């Protein structure tokens, strides 16, 4: 009797927590100035396992994680955060509360955005972060976080500007930005800042990998009014991730029902928004108003 070969098991897609852990470990290795082969020489890990850990294809065992953190000299709260990520790596959905001690370059959104192939960003009150000018960012942060120190503000400005490098290079992030007209009409900083912001938005909208659409006031009530969100899209094997910036912290949604609901919302918002050509005309008109 011949043996029956079981069907191959389907790889479980990485969760937000596992993706974040993988990105953190890559950054730590790079900060330490070590190549992957050097890490394998200093630990019991083989190269294939290290590659799978750093690409979120496998969850590191706790002893493996501790060995890597020892090698990279990670201690204190940062180490505790990474160990917690390892323990919860299989859980889906995540509310990541803001931690002032965590460097901005390790912000979960930045890590996940850097791995994405496409982002659909809907904004109801702000210019999309990847399309903001530096002056707009600075004025916006001062207004939203009145208790922030100058250093905290500048750290956030720097992080926002670094995020925008995803739109450069040979394989830039494909960005589809949809925004309510209210975001264009609110004067952030000054009329001069808004004039330059609107001009910058119009210039960016002409780039082949960036699409900008505005939902005009005349569209009336629409599904995006409850709040802003970003849909991050990866390759065919990895599901989308929904990001929502809330007052409680960074909220990430991974359930199929949530992904389906937000993608349907994106289609509806695209349909009621002005075309890219009409959006450019509206931007020019509003720039004259400022």
**Which tens digit of pLDDT belongs to each residue from 89-124?**
777 665 555 554 444 444 778 878 888 899 999 999
Indicate the average pLDDT of the chain: 87
pLDDT at 52: 87
pLDDT single digits (tens) 54-74: 888 888 999 999 999 999 999
Listed in sequence order, the residues at least 6 apart from 34 whose beta carbon sits closer than 8 Å to its beta carbon are 42, 71
What integer is the mean pLDDT of 129-153?
94
Burial annotation 240-277 (CB, 10 A radius, 16+ → b, else e): bbbbebeeeebebbbeeebbeebeebbeebbebbbeee
Pairwise CA distance, residues 146 & 256, whole Å? 37
Both 258 and 176 in one domain: the answer is yes
What integer is the mean pLDDT of 18-26?
85
Q: Could you tell me the CATH number of the domain that includes residue 280?
A: 3.30.870
pLDDT at 2: 44
Q: Could you tell me the CATH number of the domain that includes residue 57?
A: 1.10.260.40
Both 46 and 163 in one domain: the answer is no
Is the pLDDT reported for residue 267 higher than 90? Answer: yes
pLDDT single digits (tens) 183-242: 999 999 999 999 999 999 999 999 999 999 999 999 999 999 999 999 999 887 788 999
pLDDT at 22: 86
Range of the domain at 65: 16-91
pTM of the predicted structure, to 2 decimals? 0.76
Pairwise CA distance, residues 87 & 82, whole Å? 9
pLDDT at 95: 56
Pairwise CA distance, residues 86 & 61, whole Å? 8
Helix (H) or strand (E) holding 45: none
Both 149 and 252 in one domain: the answer is yes
* 246 in any annotated domain: yes
Number of domains the chain contains: 2
Listed in sequence order, the residues at least 6 apart from 141 whose beta carbon sits closer than 8 Å to its beta carbon are 148, 153, 156, 157
Both 128 and 266 in one domain: the answer is yes
pLDDT at 94: 56
Is the pLDDT reported for residue 172 higher than 60? Answer: yes
pLDDT at 191: 94
Is the pLDDT reported for residue 178 higher than 50? Answer: yes
Both 162 and 257 in one domain: the answer is yes
């Amino acid at each position: 009797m011949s043996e029956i070969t079981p069907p191959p098991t389907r790889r479980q897609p990485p969760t937000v927590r596992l993706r974040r852990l993988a990105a953190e470990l890559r950054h730590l290795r790079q900060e330490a100035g070590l190549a992957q082969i050097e890490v394998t020489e200093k630990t019991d890990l083989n190269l294939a396992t290290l590659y799978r850990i750093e690409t979120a294809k496998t969850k590191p065992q706790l002893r493996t994680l501790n060995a890597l953190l020892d090698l990279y000299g990670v201690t204190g709260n940062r180490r505790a955060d990474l160990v917690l990520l390892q323990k919860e790596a299989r859980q889906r959905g995540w509310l990541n509360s803001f931690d002032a001690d965590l460097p901005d370059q390790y912000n979960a959104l930045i890590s996940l955005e850097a791995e994405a192939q496409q982002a659909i960003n809907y904004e109801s009150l702000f210019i999309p972060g990847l399309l903001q000018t530096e002056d707009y960012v600075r004025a916006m942060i001062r207004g939203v976080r009145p208790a922030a120190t100058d250093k905290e503000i500048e750290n956030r400005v720097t992080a926002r500007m670094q995020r925008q490098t995803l739109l450069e290079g040979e394989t830039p992030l494909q960005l589809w930005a949809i925004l309510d007209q209210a975001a264009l009409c609110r004067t952030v900083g000054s009329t001069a800042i808004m004039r330059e912001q609107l001009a910058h938005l119009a210039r960016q909208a002409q780039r082949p990998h960036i699409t900008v659409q505005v939902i005009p006031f005349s569209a009336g009530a629409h599904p995006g009014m409850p709040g802003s969100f970003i849909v991050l899209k990866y390759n065919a094997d990895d599901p989308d991730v929904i990001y929502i910036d809330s007052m409680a912290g960074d909220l990430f949604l991974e359930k199929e029902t949530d992904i389906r609901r937000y993608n349907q919302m994106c289609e509806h918002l695209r349909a009621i928004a002005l075309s890219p050509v009409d959006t450019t005309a509206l931007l020019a008109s509003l720039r004259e108003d400022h």
